[in-house]
Amino acid sequence: MRIINIVGARPNFMKIAPLMAEMRRFTDIEPLLIHTGQHYDSNMSRRFFEELDIPTPDYNLEVGSGSHTWQTAQIMLALEPLLDKVRPDMVVVVGDVNSTMAAALVAAKLHIPLAHVEAGLRSFDRTMPEEINRMVTDSLADFLFTTERSGNENLKREGVPENKIHFVGNVMIDTLLRCRQHIDDQNIAARFGVAPRSYALLTLHRPSNVDVPETLSGILDAMAVMQKKLPVLFPLHPRTRQRIAEAGLFEKARTLADLRFLEPLGYMDFLGLMAQARMVLTDSGGIQEETTILGIPCLTLRENTERPVTITEGTNELVGSQAERIIAGVLRILDGKKGNSQHPELWDGHAAERIVKILRGH
């Protein structure tokens, strides 16, 4: 069985690593890897391959950055002749980035069976490009592998036949649990000049937060209050750095002594900082899941989440992007409020095994 696995951006790498490792265990599977090049920064691509022991891609489309439409179109144009040449028995896509949807469309047009890992997640907010990517990919997939029970219910409600839906757990947690011992053996926080549990970690990248100057400025207002209580480490996504500069907010930010900008981090460094943080503030979906497993309080700077299990069973709380709500959430954590910290069902490090077993069975 020749299986093409598609990756394109940082969130994909942690998901594809355990799948590729599991596929390579079987002589009846020929796993090939295509990197679309959607993320081309070294710390957001090459370094992840090295840290997670992902094999060198068999093909790299080197698409690079652009608008959503341009990037999707370029991936499709480059991928179609390649899939036509290689003729795989299946295409596997993960997550919800532009590469995921583009590859799904090409595979469907070429009548190649399609598997979607992390299917069924819904924020019910179509202003999010990821929501569109998820819905289109799920509507085309032949195998839909879900991470939580809500995903199964969403897909059934959308008319997906039950025999296509497989609840298998979370492959990203496979990667986290495999790397956990390594990061526990190192005091990564000390390398950044902070002590464990004495700092907050912030990430921002969603258009709703960084593309609107007023919203971005309001989040920085919250950080101005927060950094007086504990240092805030802020690894800057390249796009976020660009938006802060365009909005003229670097001058404002640089007056805040304990809001510390960092370069984009590799997986191990970021995971280490997250595991030792007092709290995490983010608009990332994957980080909501990782903090749940790590037991770290997470404030999500959004009005919705496609991962409700991180709220009902995990450590996540939605606080939106208004400064007063963010500050109130921070104060609740500093006052000792604890969320749930149980592991959601099947988030046990064996999701990739379940997925590959199902693929081999078919």
Q: Which residues carry out catalysis?
A: 205
DSSP secondary structure of 190-244 = HHTT--TTS-EEE----HHHHSSHHHHHHHHHHHHHHTTTS-EEEE--HHHHHHH
The DSSP-derived string for 269-314 is: HHHHHHHT-SEEEE--HHHHHHHHHHT--EEE-SS--S-THHHHTS
> Contact, 83 vs 106, CB < 8 A?
yes
Q: What amino acid occupies position 73?
A: A
Angle at 189 (CA atoms; ends 187, 195), nearest 5 degrees = 100
Contacts of 31 by beta carbon, 8 Å cutoff, 6+ apart: 3, 5, 20, 23, 24
Rounded distance between C-alpha atoms, residue 23 and residue 286, angstroms: 23
From residue 62, how far is each of 69, 71, 238, 240 by CA, in Å? Answer: 16, 11, 18, 22
SS3 31: strand
